[in-house]
Homo-oligomer: A and B are copies of this chain.
């Protein structure tokens, strides 16, 4: 699709994203999980300037992913997954748990992933020496918390079925190879439940078709973060 193309010409459901964007993968996985057909528009984050479409559809943050439904944009990856569940989960199956306390728990951990795991991961990849070691330790602590306290012995974060929190966190598993290469983090040892969960998730078409290869993902992040 060309830049600046009129939003009126967009399909019913359009997802604007970059293929290796951990936040956007959530959206593409959720759409596939609920069987929603969508048009995909690639926004290359390696290019400095955002496209006209992103400027028009997300003028506040100028970030992706963006879901455009009947020409109306929805922004913020967790917000979009909730929207997808609100609109299409009604007719297939819900991604969010039915119980209000479980829903609140899922939202709490989604926020933990966005504001604790992601920021620590960024520090881990961008710092050196002692700071890198501290970030590595903290990152492992966060992952252990998800492994033991949140996932535990369940098949998926949401229970027996792949759901909201699984869609929110599984894109981060595309960084697990990078965790090992960059800091020697042995996730099979540190987080065995999470490792088994990752394998279970990757058996799903919705996940395997969206997640990039760990090596490719790490190479791209090395360039992005300036890691030698």
Do A104 and B74 have beta carbons less than 8 Å apart? yes
- Which residues of chain B have C-beta atoms less than 8 A from A76's C-beta? 107-108, 111
Copies, count: 2
Q: Determine whether A75 belongs to the interface, using a CB cutoff of 8 Å to chain B.
A: yes
Closest 7 CB pairs of A and B: A86-B100, A83-B104, A74-B104, A87-B100, A79-B107, A79-B104, A76-B108
The majority secondary structure among interface residues of chain A is helix
Write the chain B residue with the least CB distance to A88: B100
Q: Does A189 contact B (CB under 8 A)?
A: no
* A79 close to B60 (CB less than 8 A): no
Query: Are A82 and B104 touching (Cβ within 8 A)?
Result: yes
A118 CA / B101 CA spacing, docked (Å): 27
In the docked arrangement, what's the CA distance between A80 and B79, Å? 16
Given A69-B101, A72-B101, A101-B69, verify A108-B87 contact (CB < 8 Å). no
24 contacts between A and B (CB under 8 A): A60-B112, A60-B116, A60-B145, A69-B101, A72-B101, A74-B101, A74-B104, A74-B108, A75-B108, A76-B107, A76-B108, A79-B104, A79-B107, A79-B108, A79-B111, A80-B104, A82-B103, A82-B107, A83-B100, A83-B101, A86-B100, A86-B103, A86-B104, A87-B100
